[in-house]
Structure 1
């Protein structure tokens, strides 16, 4: 296991102050917890050994996928949703396993609002102005009304698993108009390359928990934005043979860019 820790606090004026001397501390609540790496998922390692019940011990907000790459995961307010390839969101049993997920125990540090229509590029730019540093890690929650939302999911795969870039070539996409719901996810710095997705990685669930998926693009009318500045990053490796004996030295940057389009 690897643990990187950044200790910070946010002042009411928006400034950043050091709460303690930087260094290793006991695993706490303001930590992004991750199982496996994005490169392992890109390479087709869709079988993990961590259950949803175990995952929820580490966070109440986040995203990921499920064994066999069976849909998109949305974790919101402690509830895990599985958006399958039919576009329908299902609540997930605790016994289901995940090969890749990123979660945190969400605590709002910075708030923002929008009351004008913006596309995802414009809103991402606005959220960026709220972040005190481009070298920290942020969990993001956006509760809003959207005039347009486009998402995707992925169908369950069978062994031998294809690479993720091959799967997403024919990914099902879903388009919604006049929908309310919640976007959850993360903004991570460029230095996480090979481990997670640099920049924004966001999933969506509608207000009644019936549909959603991996966010591709949207137009927001109005919404509330909450940002959790995390003080640590905890990476756990799966104990599966596929992961332990895989060659993960290949540069998969281009494939990551392809699947995030």
Structure 2
């Protein structure tokens, strides 16, 4: 029986900073660790949101695709969904939503939020796939497309990481979004208001998987990098 208390993470956000963007896990393998998650493809190829075992990719043109088992990723979070009702919200702002969630749980452990409902003034992004030789995360992220919807019904899938893990993940919230129509989504930059049911799944275990067979990662010297600064600029 799948363990719903485990958050599986492949790669780290820190490895993306200097441009270690090789796909080091296949979607087929990733899906053995969960049915719900987020990530990005090799070369920062779009933004992934996995719901009910289906891996949707929002590419840099705004198209939503279901990727195949051979699709590879340098970074992903995934878990087996077992959400519990937390709170119902009505026309709540993004900041107030995040504050409310934290007031009802703990900021010292990993958790995931799923909010299905109606959203206003949603802004998302997706990055255009780059190829070797890869540039840094900051340079690659400059080639991002911004998408906007004034009104949309969809699912906000978020992970929260404690500040003490900043660098391995993003300390705080990391949001992805997909519309019910599967015609809009990506890494969430902001929204105006949200209305719907907020569900919570808390984890007591982080399973951190590193790409030890990737020579670029294993041989890289991170000591000269401003990891945290560059992550927060890009995110």
Q: TM-score, structure 1 length as denominator? A: 0.85
How far is 1:100 from its partner? 0.6
1:166-245 mapped onto 2 (5 Å cutoff): 166-238=139-211, 239-245=213-219
Look up the match of 1:165.
Answer: 138
Look up the match of 2:102.
Answer: 128
- Deviation by residue 1:164-221 (Cα, 9 ceiling, x = unmatched): 1112234210110110000112011111122111100010010022220000000234
Look up the match of 1:18.
Answer: none
Task: Indicate the SS of the match to 2:153.
Answer: strand
- Deviation by residue 1:90-109 (Cα, 9 ceiling, x = unmatched): 00101111111011112124
Task: Indicate the SS of the match to 2:226.
Answer: coil
Look up the match of 1:94.
Answer: 69
How far is 1:148 from its partner? 1.5
- Deviation by residue 1:206-251 (Cα, 9 ceiling, x = unmatched): 0022220000000234111111011200011112111111112333
Name the structure with the higher strand share.
Answer: 2
**Residue 31 (str. 1) matches residue 1 (str. 2):** no
Give ranges in structure 1 of 5+ residues lacking alignment. 1-26
Match of 1:52 among 4, 21, 27: 27
Aligned residues: 232
Task: Indicate the SS of the match to 1:39.
Answer: helix
Tell me how far apart the structure 2 counterparts of residues 155 and 169 of structure 1 sit (CA, whole Å): 9
Give ranges in structure 2 of 5+ residues lacking alignment. none
Contact in 2 for aligned 1:87/1:153 (Cα 8 Å): yes
Tell me how far apart the structure 2 counterparts of residues 72 and 97 of structure 1 sit (CA, whole Å): 12
Tell me how far apart the structure 2 counterparts of residues 124 and 135 of structure 1 sit (CA, whole Å): 15
RMSD: 1.4
Task: Indicate the SS of the match to 2:97.
Answer: helix
Most deviating of 250-259 and 231-240: 250-259
Task: Indicate the SS of the match to 1:68.
Answer: coil
Contact in 2 for aligned 1:104/1:139 (Cα 8 Å): no
